[in-house]
Amino acid sequence: MELSDRTVFAIIACMVIVFGVGVGLVEMHPNVLAGPKGPVNIELEVTDRYYNSTLGYQPSYFVVVNGKLTSSATISIPDYTVINLTIIDKGKGYNPIMPQFLNVTGTTNGKMILRNITGNTTVVTSHVNALGHSFTIMKGSSVLVNLPVVPMHITNAKFILHSGVFTWQCEAECGGHGNPMGPPMGVTSWMDGTVISE
Ligand SMILES: [Cu+2]
């Protein structure tokens, strides 16, 4: 069987493309081919802290490091790694939110584990009926990960991020004193910040 010039050209072109994609993947990140690393545990806590004399105490996200509450302004996580995220909401208040943020988005199994803070109820779910806050990771205007955070509950879910600088924010109307879209909504290290995945 003789292959026509055109067929030979097509085969060579395919080989070049496959080789190029392979090199591209390896150069992009070794874990793309090797599979994600992890899991790496990240723990967040939502609890009240003093905002100012007008608003008094308001809910705020913290990163828990060795049992201590630290700033949530920048949350650094390893890329291409399974992140095992736990969020404990010590607040008691429920807040309005756009309905899509009642859903779990972007986790490895599309679900999260929701445990009562006292540990006596645990459910695996992709939706809640009401929440206090959301932990929402955005790339521009698109949602990468959304976790509904329920008062007096512990939220736990796994997700993987590619390399990049993203934003995190709470989408609930949790602003204080008759201004639900006001502070601490949109305030860095309270209900808003950066996620660096590298
Ligand atoms: Cu909030």
What pLDDT is attached to residue 73?
A: 98
How much is the pTM? 0.84
pLDDT at 30: 62
Instruction: Indicate whether 101 and 82 sit together in one domain.
Output: yes
Output the domain CATH number for residue 165: 2.60.40
Helices and strands in the chain: count of H runs, count of E runs: 2, 12
Report the separation in Å between the CA atom of 49 and the middle of ligand 1, taken as the mean of its atom positions: 13
Do 58 and 87 lie in a common domain? yes
How far apart are alpha carbons 187 and 110 in whole angstroms? 28
Residues 76 and 99 in one domain: yes
Say how many Å lie between the CA of residue 155 and the centre of ligand 1: 14
Residues 106 and 26 in one domain: no
Q: How far is the CA of 185 from the centre of ligand 1 (A)?
A: 6
Q: Are residues 29 and 55 in the same domain?
A: no
Distance 33 CA to ligand 1 centre (A): 37
Low-confidence stretches of the chain (pLDDT beneath 50): 1, 22-23
Domain count, the chain: 2
pLDDT at 8: 54
Are 107 and 171 found together in one domain? yes
Asked if residue 115 and residue 22 are part of one domain, the reply reads no
- 95 shares its domain with 178: yes
Ligand 1 centroid to residue 136 C-alpha, Å: 10
Look at residue 178 in the predicted model and tell me its pLDDT. 86
Measure 162 CA to ligand 1 centroid, in angstroms: 25
CA of 121 to the centre of ligand 1 (A): 23
Whole-number Å distance between alpha carbons of 38 and 36: 7
pLDDT at 32 (0 to 100) = 66
pLDDT at 70: 98
- Nearest 5°: phi and psi at 110? 75, 5
Together in a domain, 21 and 109: no
**Nearest Cα to 55, choosing from 170, 173, 176?**
176
Ligand 1 center to residue 160 CA distance, Å? 23
Q: What is the extent of the structural domain holding 186?
A: 36-197
Distance 119 CA to ligand 1 centre (A): 23
Which pLDDT score, from 0 to 100, does residue 36 have? 87
Query: Count of CB atoms within 10 A of residue 114's CB?
Result: 21
Q: Are residues 30 and 81 in the same domain?
A: no
| Domain co-membership, 179 together with 191 | yes
* Per-residue pLDDT at 19: 53
2 and 51 together in one domain: no
